[in-house]
Structure 1
């Protein structure tokens, strides 16, 4: 015996179609929710950035005292990135740098809601390393002949004009910082692409950071990283703090340029966000 038609069935089907269409037009995030939570990733970024600044800035601070060449400073930054990436890469991705985080976000590789927490964690890690060197310097009277703790930290601070190692003005310093940040983000996006050969990211990114810092040392003392710049400048005196703006604007600009270019022309499968524009029609 045939069943009588359900008067509510057409409305029910139409409602399901509308709900499904609405879901398809929303932005879908392809995120593995089984991975580390945001707090764990923030601590990983904090620890990784601390290691980077501790090793890189530590090499810069004591290069003058021990007579090290600039290559030793670059090696300190390179090895700092490699070690931090090996330890924390599987937790947070080991960005270690606000410019990298922003570049990954603009390239569609990282959710925008996590940008601010990552940057905050990176700043805390870098500042903790800078504060540690400030405190350790204060315990050794032998270094008094080199100046106050702030003057000692200032030898590794980033700057332009009078605070540039070779007196480059803000424009030249800014151009270099834009270029090196753009190159760094390009390398990060390339070696972490789904098309890249796995396993080479820490070494590739670390060596890139080292050589980019080496190039930038004569211009700005090698910033490349707003968190690294902030973590040292905060302990280097008011005159240095007045120049901090450049070491945020320039690296973020370089990162934005590369991120947007990769979003426009990079492999579509690398995008974390996928905008579904198809809808179901009757």
Structure 2
């Protein structure tokens, strides 16, 4: 139960901090943090929670990461489903908190016809810069694949584990710097699902891509590290 609570709170913090920065702070004229600030916010959520609760649960905070670690031989299949449920629950609760806060702003409404509504992910007309489904799929696949390689490498028994959280947090920051214009950045199915549930419409109908592409990318990343990169002795 402690592990599942750690994953719940870690994923909650990721969605609340990352999506919250996009919703509250990114677009303020002259003072807004912009794309770079949102990217850094996502990285900081993972970095801080990796040190806060990573020693309890391993600090996945992402269904794709859990699948990739399982594929890489670092995580038990017996815990996989329960971790994913805890992560999705944490993400949905965070989205609910964000929605409640935004309701306190005069004139707030979620426009489900706009790309990036409520920090949702999307492709085609719902991509921030109009990228196609194929482009979105490749971006999410490749970025999640490399994210898993970074995670597996940084947490390898031969690596300096004290800095694993820094490497993983900065990797997620870089991922967002690359892909916010493409898909609004997922690489995390729980994060995508939580926002899409509150938006509905097309973003919810497109959420399948933000489960399939990251999970496939994580599987390939786990296999690459386990079979080609991992030091055996």
Give the TM-score normalised by the residue count of structure 1.
0.77
Aligned to 1:85: 50
Q: Structure 1 residue runs of 4+, over 3 Å off?
A: 149-153
SS of the counterpart of 2:217? helix
- Secondary structure at the aligned position of 2:33 is classed as coil
Is 1:267 aligned to 2:231, yes or no?
Answer: yes
> 1:148 and 2:112 equivalent?
no
* Equivalent position to 1:252, from 206, 215, 232: 215
d(CA) in 1 for partners of 2:209, 2:61: 19
2:41 aligned with 1:76: yes
For the residues of structure 2 that align with 1:216 and 1:251, how far apart are their CA atoms? 13
CA distance in 2, matches of 1:104, 1:138: 38
CA distance in 1, matches of 2:181, 2:91: 22
Which residue does 1:199 correspond to in 2?
162
- Give 1:229's aligned residue: 192
* Among 4, 12, 17, the residue aligned to 1:55: 17
Residues paired across the two proteins, number:
227
**1:217-238 CA distance string (max 9 Å, x none):** 1110011111111111111122
Q: Deviations over 1:181-202 (max 9, x none)?
A: 0010000000100110120011
Distance 1:150 1:54 in 2: 20
Is residue 170 from structure 1 mapped to residue 142 from structure 2 by the alignment? no
SS for the counterpart of 2:27 is helix
For residues 111 and 80 of structure 2, the distance between their equivalents in structure 1, rounded to whole angstroms, comes to 31
The answer for unaligned runs of 5 or more in structure 2 is none
CA distance in 2, matches of 1:87, 1:74: 20
1:155-213: CA deviation from partner (whole Å, max 9, x where unpaired) = 41100011100000100011000011001000000010011012001111001001101
Gaps of 5+ in 1: 1-38, 270-282
The answer (yes or no) to whether the contact 1:134–1:150 under 8 Å persists in 2 is no
Mark the structure with the bigger radius of gyration: 1
